Amino acid sequence: MATIRRRQLIKAGLGLAGLAASSRFSFSLAQQEPIRIGVVLSYSGPYARLGQEITRGMELYLEKVGYQAGGRRIQLLKEDEEADPAVAVRKVRKLVEQDRVNLLSGIILSSSAYGIRDYVHERQIPLVIANAAANGITRERRSPYIFRTSISAWQQHYPMGPWVARNVGKKVFLLALDYAFGKEATAAFKEGFLQAGGEPVAELYTPLGSTDYSAVISRIAAARPEAVHAVLSGSDAVIFLRQFIQFGLNRSIQLAVSGEVTDENVLEAIGDAALGAKSADHWVYTLNNSANREFIQAYRQKFNAVPNHFAVRGYDAMQFIVDAINTVQGDLSNRQRLLGAIESAKIISPRGFVQMDPETNNVTQHVYAREVARIDGVLTNRLLADLGTIRDPGK
C-alpha cells in the first residue's frame, strides 16, 4: 500500500514538474514572439500629414531603442484612419481580431477615439492615444484601458486665455473647426480669457475641410478685434493663414492661436508672413533640454526637415509604451500589471518632464506660449513663456 502511495506521489510530482516546465516553455516561446502594436492614424485625407508626422516620431523613438523593449522585438502594424470614425472602428477591429495585436496606439480624431472606446474597453486592449484631445476621452468616457500621452483640449488652451488677455489684447475673435476638439478648445480658452478680463467679440465655427475662408476673413475684419484665437489644423490651418495674410489682416490683427495653427508643417507652406504669430502648445523648438536637442538632431538628420509637435507626440507615445514594456520585462500576459506600468510611467520628453496622471490616464506636463520665428535658418516657434505644469482636472 505504501509502495502504491509513493508511486502516486511520484507521478503527481512528475506531472506538476511537467506543467511547470510546459509553462516555462510557453513563456519562453511568448518572449521570442514580437510585441505587435497596432497603429491607427490618418494617412489620407485632410489629416494625412499629421498621421505621417506622428508615425515618424514613433519610428524615430523605436529606432533609438533598436525596435526592442523588455527583451522582445517590437512590430508596428499600421492602418489608415481616413479621418473617419467608422473606418477607425473597422481598422481597430481588424488589428485586434485578425492581426492579434498586443496594444493599440495612434488616433487622430477625437470622434474616432469616442467611436472605438467601447470596443477597446470591452476587449480590454490597452490603447495609448497619441493625438485625439477631446476632454471626455479621459473624463466621463474614461476607461482603465485607455491612456492619452498627447494633451487634452482644456489642458492646452485654458492657460493661454489669461496669457493672451495680459500680453496680446482684451478683444479677441474666436474661430474653430466645428467638431469636439474645436469646441472644447475654444471653451477652455474662453474660460481662462474671461477670468482675466478678456472680451470675445465673436465666436464662429467652420466645417472640417473648408477650402475657402474669405467669408470668415470678412467677418473678422468687420469685428475689428485685437487678436484672433483660431483652433484649426491640417489643410484648414494652411488655407486660413494664407487668406488671413492675403487680405492683409496680419498687419493690424494679432494671431494668438492653437499650436496646431502654427505647426511647423503649416509654416512651411506659409513662409515668413507668419512671423510673430503667437500660440500655445506643449512643445517648442527652442526648449533648452538635452532630450529636445537630441530629438531635433535625430529628426532633421533622418528626414531632412523640421520636426513639429505631432512628431513629438508620436515619439512620446512610443516612449511611454516602451517604458511600460520594460517595466514588466516584456511579459504582457498580466494585463493589469501592464496597465499599472503605463499608469506609473514618467519620461524625459523633448517637451520636458511628462508623467501619466493615474486619476485621469492623461499626462501632466508643461504648456508654453510660443511665437513664430526664423531660427537656425528654419521657420519654427520660439519660447515666450512657460505657462506652468498643467494637469487636466478630469471633470
Average pLDDT over residues 348-365: 96
**β-pairing verdict for 278-281 and 362-375:** antiparallel
Give yes or no on whether 35-151+288-358 and 155-281+370-390 have one common fold: yes
Count CB atoms within 10 A of the CB of residue 345.
23
pLDDT in tens, 25-72: 444 545 679 999 999 999 998 889 999 999 999 999 999 999 999 999
Residue 348's φ and ψ, nearest 5 degrees, are -100, 105
CA torsion angle 15 17 19 24 (round to 10): -170
Residue 24's φ and ψ, nearest 5 degrees, are -65, -40
Tell me, what's the pLDDT at 7? 58
pLDDT in tens, 53-66: 999 999 999 999 99
Residue 111's φ and ψ, nearest 5 degrees, are -65, -35
CA torsion angle 63 67 71 73 (round to 10): -170
pLDDT in tens, 263-308: 998 999 999 999 999 999 999 999 999 999 999 999 999 999 999 9
In this structure, the chain runs to a length of 395
Q: What distance in Å separates the CA atoms of residue 120 and residue 115, rounded to the nearest whole number?
A: 10
Assigned CATH topology for domain 155-281+370-390 = Rossmann fold (3.40.50)
256: cell is 494668438
Q: Which amino acid is at 379?
A: L
Average pLDDT, the chain: 92
Q: What distance in Å separates the CA atoms of residue 274 and residue 261, rounded to the nearest whole number?
A: 10
Tell me, what's the pLDDT at 234? 82
Domain-wise residue ranges, the chain = 35-151+288-358, 155-281+370-390
Per-residue pLDDT band for 18 (boundaries 50, 70, 90) equals: low
Average pLDDT over residues 323-331: 97
Q: What distance in Å separates the CA atoms of residue 105 and residue 184, rounded to the nearest whole number?
A: 23
Q: With contact defined as beta carbons under 8 Å apart, do 259 and 370 qualify?
A: yes
Tell me, what's the pLDDT at 28? 53
Per-residue pLDDT band for 100 (boundaries 50, 70, 90) equals: very high
35-151+288-358 sits in which CATH class?
alpha beta
